[in-house]
Amino acid sequence: MNFMGSNGGTIWFSGLHGSGKTTIANALAEKLREKGVAVVLLDGDVIRERVSADLGYSKEERNTHIKRVAGICEIITSNNVLNIACVASPTQEVRDYAKKIIPVFLEVYVKCPLEVCEKRDVKGHYMKARAREKGFENFLGVNLPYEEPKNPDLVLCTDRKNPKESVERLFNFLLEKQWIQP
Amino acid sequence: MNFMGSNGGTIWFSGLHGSGKTTIANALAEKLREKGVAVVLLDGDVIRERVSADLGYSKEERNTHIKRVAGICEIITSNNVLNIACVASPTQEVRDYAKKIIPVFLEVYVKCPLEVCEKRDVKGHYMKARAREKGFENFLGVNLPYEEPKNPDLVLCTDRKNPKESVERLFNFLLEKQWIQP
């Protein structure tokens, strides 16, 4: 292990379900750990279970959930520890809130056309949303709009690049911006 | 900086208000960072603002709050990052919950007689609780019982040792238990 350092910060992944957020985040976290950089991966679904179990999926409840995730990111960042948040975060408003409260913030748009995400349908959720199954009434891209990030720091087009290439690009970006130091 | 490593884990501080939890936790975090160990300090009050703003101070709401803190500790620990939780956590039940869900867990009882904590009264909260001021109706040690930990991993008696000695003891304990490695 060659020890690299970091002064902390939040890498905020936004994108549709199936765009590849979790895949890229996991691979990036693994690569950083191999280099000796401590990193906390915050997966929106996991945080829902542990911290937001009281919340449903209405617009207001989603916002409250995302704001809690942002609060956790802020605390970890203030402790100078690198963290990655994977939350769909479909509105500019809620992403702007995260950007405002988190002192060191990088907005990464994991971009992939809806048709491609839907074709992948890794978890079978799109099918359920199209079939109007219970619990999928507010599914992003199907019955809930996704506002594209207006001015992200980085865009990863996952329909054109494979996960390894995306991780490489993001890792080099972190080096350039001195979020991680050799 | 001499780089020490850690495989992560939660150091859970329990104790009365004014027992010295935050002072010791901050000093320990600073010492660990100086040695190159990444660590996240989770202060109950800060998490209240950011994550549990919806909750009050009833027994049930306190428990929900502490469980959320435990959930965050669990996530950070699962990412192999060291973290310190400072929450009064007054019941054995809620501490046992934390111990159950967090895969690597150390219970530290920051022990100090109520009279001493009350004499310190750093934030003036004991005085307010004794005067039955609004917002202090459920104050630990005054109108809410504190159940002493039954079987903590470590007890720090802050009426007999100064913060520096307590930090030293805890740091050496972490080394012995291989929570941190030279």
CATH superfamily ID and name for A5-173? P-loop containing nucleotide triphosphate hydrolases (3.40.50.300)
Across-strand partners of B107?
Answer: B12
Are residues B75 and A3, on separate chains, in Cβ contact within 8 Å?
Answer: no
| B54 shares contact with chain A (CB less than 8 Å) | yes
Looking at residue A122, its pLDDT comes to: 86
Looking at residue B154, its pLDDT comes to: 98
**CA separation for the pair A5, A80 (Å, rounded):** 10
In the 3-class helix/strand/coil scheme, how is B99-161 assigned residue by residue?
HHHCCCEEEEEEECCHHHHHHHCCCCHHHHHHCCCCCCCCCECCCECCCCCCCCCEEEECCCC
pLDDT value at B1 more than 70:
no
Looking at residue B88, its pLDDT comes to: 86
| B68 shares contact with chain A (CB less than 8 Å) | yes
Domain boundaries, chain B: 5-181
Which of B5-14, B25-34, B130-139 has the weakest average pLDDT?
B130-139
In tens digits, chain A (182 residues) has pLDDT values of 567 889 999 999 999 999 999 999 999 999 999 999 999 999 999 999 999 999 988 889 999 999 999 999 999 999 999 999 999 899 999 999 999 999 999 999 999 999 999 999 988 999 999 999 988 888 899 988 999 999 999 999 999 999 999 999 999 999 999 999 98
**In angstroms, what CA-CA distances link A171 with A24, A59, A161, B151?**
11, 33, 15, 45
Looking at residue A2, its pLDDT comes to: 60
Looking at residue B2, its pLDDT comes to: 60
What are phi and psi for residue B150, nearest 5 degrees? Answer: -75, -40
Looking at residue B5, its pLDDT comes to: 87
Show the tokens assigned to B178. 């291989």
What distance in Å separates residue B119's CA from the closest CA in chain A? Answer: 31
What are phi and psi for residue A57, nearest 5 degrees? Answer: -120, 20
DSSP string of A33-65? HHTT--EEEEEHHHHHHHT-TT--SSHHHHHHH
| Residues 6 or more apart in contact with residue A41 via CB below 8 angstroms | A25, A26, A29, A83, A84, A86, B79
- ∠ CA(A137), CA(A141), CA(A145), 5° rounding? 85
The answer to whether residues B20 and B122 touch, using CB atoms and an 8 Å cutoff, is no
Give the residue on A whose Cα is nearest the Cα of B78. A40
From B3, B51, B74, residue closest to A71, measured CB to CB: B51
ipTM entry: 0.93
Looking at residue B137, its pLDDT comes to: 85
Q: Which A residues in the span 97-156 are in contact with B, Cβ-Cβ below 8 Å?
A: none
Could you confirm whether domain B5-181 is CATH 3.40.30.10? no
The answer to whether residues A79 and B40 touch, using CB atoms and an 8 Å cutoff, is yes
Show the tokens assigned to A64. 């409250």
Are residues B75 and A49, on separate chains, in Cβ contact within 8 Å?
Answer: no
In the β-sheet with A105-111, what is the strand arrangement from edge to edge? A39-43, A82-86, A9-14, A105-111, A154-157
| A63 shares contact with chain B (CB less than 8 Å) | no
* Dihedral, A32, A33, A34, A37 alpha carbons, nearest 10: 70
Looking at residue A58, its pLDDT comes to: 84
Mean pLDDT of B128-152: 91
Looking at residue B7, its pLDDT comes to: 92
| pTM, rounded to two decimals | 0.94
Show the tokens assigned to A6. 């970091």
User: What percentage of residues in chain B have a pLDDT greater than 70?
Assistant: 99
DSSP string of A55-114? --SSHHHHHHHHHHHHHHHHHHHHTT-EEEEE-----HHHHHHHHHH-SSEEEEEEE--H
Q: Give the pLDDT confidence of B46-92 residue by residue, as tens digits.
A: 999 999 999 988 889 999 999 999 999 999 999 999 999 999 899 99
Are residues A47 and B79, on separate chains, in Cβ contact within 8 Å?
Answer: no
Give the residue on A whose Cα is nearest the Cα of B42. A75
**CA separation for the pair A152, B156 (Å, rounded):** 48
| Residues 6 or more apart in contact with residue B78 via CB below 8 angstroms | B8, B103
**CA separation for the pair A25, A6 (Å, rounded):** 17
B125: nearest Cα among B148, B143, B111: B143
**CA separation for the pair B154, B108 (Å, rounded):** 5
Instruction: Decide if B14 is catalytic.
Output: no
What are phi and psi for residue A178, nearest 5 degrees? Answer: 60, 30
